[in-house]
Amino acid sequence: MIDLQIHTTDSDGTWSWTQVLEKCLNLNLAAFAITDHDTTVRRDDIVEWAKTNDAMAIPGIELSSCENDQTIHLLGYFLDGPLNQLELRLNFLREGRMDRNKKIVAKLQSLGISVTEEDVLAAAGRATVGRPHIARLLMQKGVVKSMQEAFDRYLSANGQAYYPKVELPLREAIDLLHSAGAVTSISHPGLLKRTPDVLEESLKLWRSWGLDGIEALYPSYSLEQTAFFERMAEKYGFLRTGGSDFHGENKPHIQIGTGTGHLNVPDEFLQPLLDRRDEIVGALSV
Ligand code: AMP
Ligand code: ZN
Ligand code: FE
């Protein structure tokens, strides 16, 4: 079994990267990827850890992108190339998140909730700051009883304090990750609010933009959705990825490897990803 989507305290997870990697090792996962939002801060540490522990620990990223006014999360695996171009754009996203925090905090304050920008920044520390940090803060202040309530009432797209964040156009995001030596896969495409017909058209278009893979296995997918993505992979030549989207206590119902209990991402997904990595990295050096 493998797990190709895991978050840590470097973005909006609650476990540190070493806690996560040790857990993966204990679970005997054949491969595992850390995919924190909009950051490459841990790439070298993970590569080093993988060597020391002789384990297939993969550095990755989940990049915030958009297409047709819809948020699309793009996973990137291996990051085996130069990071300079990617870093420039990550700085832009980081600045966008800082600006957005101010907006969300102002909305919360206008609702009579005493929360400051400093509180949010302190909660995030050096991590990529995100709505889960604000949700946790609202919980600690007793404003809400759960993360879910924080999102439902305030932070989800139709919540009272919602403000969108800056994202990169998907086509640019794919090129950018390739330039950094990463294999790309659409994160949880089953969560996109598109009918299967529309989604198929999108996937076809994105394949023509160079998209490598799709997250075909994900804890919340129905059997129908899984079958649909298997079919899409077959029909358009996508690589398949799958992951738990573990976030520690920020998503307490999700476990590493098994998700809600039924996730089982097979080892056989790995080799095609490695082969594609070699192609991408090879093309960078000519
Ligand atoms: P952001 O990057 O600030 O837009 O935050 C997005 C993150 O919020 C996602 O990666 C999810 O992990 C998390 N999230 C979204 N909705 C919920 C929810 N209802 N409960 C807990 N976490 C959520
Ligand atoms: Zn997250
Ligand atoms: Fe995501």
SS3 168: strand
Enumerate residues lining ligand 1, CB below 6 A. Answer: 12, 37, 130-132, 147-148, 151, 165, 247, 250-251
Q: Quick one: tokens of 150? A: 């924080």
**Banded model confidence at residue 1, pLDDT cuts 50, 70, 90:** very high
Q: What is the predicted pLDDT for the residue at 286? A: 78
| Separation of CA 268 and ligand 3 centre (Å) | 23
| Separation of CA 5 and ligand 3 centre (Å) | 9
The residue whose C-alpha atom lies closest to atom 1 belonging to ligand 1 is 130
Burial 219-252 (b: 16+ CB within 10 A, else e): bebeeebeebbeebbeeeebbbbbbbbbbbebbe
| Separation of CA 156 and ligand 2 centre (Å) | 13
The residue whose C-alpha atom lies closest to atom 3 belonging to ligand 1 is 130
Reported as a single tens digit per residue, the pLDDT across 22-41 is 999 999 999 999 999 999 99
Q: Is the pLDDT of residue 285 over 90?
A: no
| Separation of CA 132 and ligand 2 centre (Å) | 8
The residue whose C-alpha atom lies closest to atom 22 belonging to ligand 1 is 132
Reported as a single tens digit per residue, the pLDDT across 73-107 is 999 999 999 999 999 999 999 999 999 999 999 99
**230 phi-psi bin (left φ>0, alpha ψ -120 to 50, beta other):** alpha
Reported as a single tens digit per residue, the pLDDT across 125-170 is 999 999 999 999 999 999 999 999 999 999 999 999 999 999 999 9
CA distance 89 to 212: 21
